[in-house]
Every structure is written in structure tokens, then in C-alpha cells.
Homo-oligomer: A and B are copies of this chain.
């Protein structure tokens, strides 16, 4: 019998596919990749009988799983990691983060910061990220070059910023950006009205109209703190969720970020709409924002994804660490040690993220025909032994630091812990130069 010839076969100790209900962990299986697509996942013997490949890779001490999807962040803020920690939120924003952004944010800042974020995300197993920041053109150029997959939510405020003069300008720039990337295989675009308290009803209406006309999702910070909810009730007579729902901004493809202070009515509205919630546990903890009721939302049938938020409020973009926090804090929050199990947490950070970003027909699990976006984690470290349960160990230990290889659409972006599309030394030198400039300004 003649064997089918494919691009790549990865023989792995364990193939973990969180969205595979019957067998999320399969031992001694191989992943078969051709033309960027996942052709099949088969036991070793069957693979050797059926396929041969230009590149056959043996990962004998590794778990291979779908690449992680970081569903919310501000990539370029990696340049501000640890710049201002342990402050009150107002002090943090008004005296530290916003002045630093005003002084430094530009297309070149975004380019450098996004490359820095990309390096960290690739090295810790993320294959797709959602970005919400200024100068998306500069960020997308980096993504195109380094090979990651990304959604860019273009920021929209009532007021001007370094990127533009106001809402009409932001929307115009968004449409231009959208048409530039219309046929890009790894880039999608969303509208990113910043938050209910920075975008008024009139401008939300414009955003909703553009979203509808151009079939763009809306990605928005929502109900991040109890104070935001209290202020909204005082000003608008309703919660931010109810207000945005009335404005038509909460639809099946909407992406609602943070969502810590929710009423039953809010949760029911979100569930009914089909919108996704994006949970950013470390940012919510570090800024004392509150806790998103993840298990309650899942019980309502809401899709929940996970994001790191920006490095300035984290300070890492290690999505494995983020999903560990998601599992850990849900248990105390819901007074239930079965809340957000290890497997659920992995699903939220893979297929949940894909659903939130509207790309679950392309990535998020190992369904045949999806794009080959995957990461591998070494499982032979002494601190993982005895390996009673691979799913538990992936979630409850520091797996992001054990990632060795990453593929996006069949391209290997990380090869045995080395970046293939980013010159790490040159990047470090540029970041060091930026830090020096920032310190002396």
C-alpha cells in the first residue's frame, strides 16, 4: 500500500485535545499536517502505515495540544510591564500609565511592544491573540511578519488620542485597516469601543451601525468594576450591560471583556444574545477590579474565553498561568472545588477563545481540516512526576515555562524553545534602548 505524502508528522507522547469529549488525552499519537491544515490525529502505528512526511518530528517527552488563544490584551503595553505596580487604580492610570502612554505611544512604540509581546506569547504557547490598542496598522505588520494569528480591535473613544482625532476618524481608519487585511489568512478585525464610560450613546450607535454594515464584531471592556456599574446606574439608570444591550452592542458576535460585577438580569441578557465573555483573572486580581463569575456564566450557557490583558496589569502574557488562575479562583469564588475544572479551563483558553473571536471553524481544537495551530509542553520535568493526570498537570503547574514548540497554520514559530521568526537578541537590544530613552526623558 502506498503511503500518502504530507508536509509534517509530529509523533508525541500525549496528544491533548480539550474539546475532544471522549478522549481529551491520547497516548502515543501523531499529528499529521499538510499545507497548513491538520489532516488527522492517529496512533503511531497507523500513522506509519498511512503517511510519510518531508519532516517527521519525534516529541517523546511532550504533550501536544491546540495553541492557546489569548482573547484580550494590549500587546504593546509589554513595554510598560512592572512600570507601575501596587497602586490604587486612579493613581495607576492618571499618574503613571496614561502619562507614560501620552509621552511614548507612537507607531514605532506599538511595533516594538507588539514584537516583544509576540515573542513572549509564542514562547509560552499562544498561537492567537486579540489586541486592542492604538496604531493597529503597526501591530498587524508585526503579526504578518512573525506568523501569529490575531484579531485587532481598533480602539474607539469619544475623545482624540495619538492614533486619531475622534470617533469618526477612528471608524474611518478602522474601515481602511479592515480592507487592507480583508484577505489575510491570519488577521481579523473587530471594533473596539473602549468602555461604556468612554463612549457615549451617540458614538456607540455609530459603532453599532458600522459593525452591522461591515459584519464586524464588537470587542469592549464591560462591567470591569462595581464602581463602573454604580456610576452607570446613577448616570443612565441602568447597568452597563443593559445599556449596551439597548444600544444594540451585545450580539452573538460581541466580545465582552472583564464582566466582574453582573446581576442575574445582566447574565440572562448576555446568555440570550449569544455573546462571549472574556475573563482576565490576573488583571482583575492585580487591579482589585473584582471577579468574573465564570462558572455561573457557563451554567447560563455563555461561552467564556480567557485573556491576559496588558502586561502593565499582569505582568506576564503567559496564557498557561492565566488559565491556572481562572481554574483556581473560580473554586473559592463559587465556594465549590468542582468549579472550572482543569479541563474546563483548558477549553476556555482554546476552543472558548476561538468561539469568542469567531474563528472556531478554523482553530481551537484538533478537528480534521482545521488550521494546524498547536503548542507542545515538556512533561518529563521532575516536578511533574508522577504524572497521574496530564490535564491537571498542564493546568496546575507552570506549563507556559515548559513550552518547546509552536506551530501556526503549519509554520513552526518556535523550534525547541528558539524563536524562528523573531531575532530575540536584536529585539532585546531594541527594548533596552527604549527603556534607556524612557528613563532619561
Which residues of A are in contact with B by a Cβ distance under 8 Å?
79-83, 85-89, 92, 116, 119-120, 123-124, 282, 284-291, 314-318, 321, 325, 328-329, 331-332, 334-339, 341-342, 380, 382-389, 392-393, 396-398, 400-402, 424, 427-428, 431-432, 434-435, 438
Contact = CB atoms under 8 A, between A and B. Distances in A.
Given A285-B328, A318-B398, A385 B85 contact: no
A332 B435 contact: no
A289 B83 CA distance: 34
Contacts of A400: 398
A338 B87 CA distance: 5
Contacts of A329: 285, 329
Contacts of A397: 315-316, 318
Contact of A287 (B291, B331, B382, B398): B331
Contacts of A87: 337-338
Given A81-B386, A317-B383, 4 more contacts: A89-B337, A119-B383, A315-B397, A316-B396
14 contacts: A81-B386, A82-B387, A83-B389, A89-B337, A120-B382, A284-B332, A287-B337, A288-B331, A288-B337, A290-B332, A315-B392, A315-B393, A316-B398, A382-B431
A5 to B, nearest CB: 37
A392 B338 CA distance: 32
B288 A385 contact: no
Contacts of A88: 336-338
Contacts of A389: 82-83, 85
B83 A388 contact: yes
B120 A383 contact: yes
Nearest to A315: B396
Q: This chain: how many copies in the complex?
A: 2
Given A286-B331, A321-B398, A382 B123 contact: yes
Given A316-B383, A431-B385, A432-B386, A288 B339 contact: yes
B337 A86 contact: yes
Contacts of A431: 382, 385-386
Contacts of A318: 383, 397-398
A79 B385 CA distance: 7
A286 B400 CA distance: 19
Name which of A88, A289, A382 has the most chain B CB atoms within 10 A of its CB. Answer: A382
Nearest to A435: B386
Contact of A398 (B289, B384, B398, B428): B398
Among A85, A92, A393, A401, chain B packs the most CB atoms within 10 A around the CB of A85
A391 to B, nearest CB: 8
Contacts of A393: 81-82, 315
Nearest to A396: B315
Contact of A424 (B284, B382, B424, B434): B382
A92 B392 CA distance: 14
Contacts of A291: 332
Contacts of A81: 384, 386, 388, 393
A328 B315 CA distance: 11
A318 B384 CA distance: 11
A81 B392 CA distance: 9
Contacts of A124: 383
